[in-house]
Amino acid sequence: MTSRTIVALSGGVDSAVAALRLLQTGHTVEALHMTNWTEDEDGYCTAADDWQAARAVADALGIPIHRVSFAAEYRERVFAEFLAGYAAGQTPNPDVLCNREVKFGACLEYVDRLGGDRFATGHYARLADHPSGPRLLRAVDANKDQSYFLQQMPRSALARAVFPLGDLPKPEVRRLARAANLPVAERPDSTGICFIGERPFREFLGRYLPAAPGPILTPEGEELGQHEGLMFHTVGQRGGLRIGGRKHHADLPWYVAAKDRARNALIVVQGGDHPLLLTREFRTTPLTWLTDPPPAQFVAQVQIRHRQTPVPAEIRWDASGATVSVHEPLRAVAPGQYAALYQEDVCLGGAVIG
């Protein structure tokens, strides 16, 4: 029986070229377009345009396309946790959650219903064979590498995943799309996440979480102004504080150093290298492993945000989580962010910073 590969066709150039490369390498390919957000009160979400673009790509490639909505699953498993994180003063990452709960969760289950053997996406990441199971590797294009966003995917999904773009730089993806006359060859890359789109983040979040104004304080307790809600700010943020220059303070920019939920206060400091912005050790929630679990204490590289340069660290972990001690201070470590662990190009897994 011929194996079938289902490709997640989003309507963008990356997933289109992923489907193209699968066809060129002899796969039997079908497309699956998923909709994860249905509320579009003001036109910021591009779900309708994305569907039309995905259909056009499927027609151009001559492959069947299926359409499914995971809006309910997204709202329950991703968006609810996103809101809870912000309400708790954290900085959650819904893209990591979406990959775990929807793309390699609910969507992979739907691939089974379609009779698919493999599931391909346009992620910039690579897979490598290993005796204990496939390993998730960084993409060749370091600027586009998306393994950070895949750190929480179920390990079992690695055996069925296909990432056709992992060995390509982004300009080559565009070139291949043009050479194949794909209708999305010049379509701009999407930015942000669909349920926010290009709308102002504060405006969107304010629709779901009530404003809770409070003081903006220095670490010494001096009040400099008022914020509209802790959820509108993140650790390391510069700008948007509306506190300007102050007498008896240096002529340096202000940065968010912490959120004090007990006082509903935003703590700010001056200078991007202020000690309160630098962290040498932090705790995480229980780890998700994409490899066999390593020893209870080991050395790895840790990455706390997309495109951040990973830094060497000592990891001490158990079932309750990990203590990560970095060799050089990390700037703007925020609770709720994900910390991904690597050894060379191999993503070991990761966890939420506590």
Active site residues: 98, 194
Say if residue 344 is exposed, middle or buried (CB neighbours under 10 Å; 0-12, 13-18, 19+): exposed
Spatial contact of 77 and 105, defined as CB atoms under 8 Å apart: yes
Which amino acid is residue 51, in one-letter code?
W
Q: Which two tokens stand for residue 147?
A: 């393994």
Which amino acid is residue 307, in one-letter code?
R
Which amino acid is residue 324, in one-letter code?
V
Backbone CA torsion sign across 128, 133, 135, 136? positive
Beta strands (DSSP E) in 264-345 are 265-270, 278-283, 288-289, 297-303, 311-318, 321-331, 338-343
Q: Report the C-alpha gap between 81 and 74 in whole angstroms.
A: 10
Spatial contact of 303 and 142, defined as CB atoms under 8 Å apart: no
Phi, psi of 149, rounded to the nearest 5 degrees? -75, -10
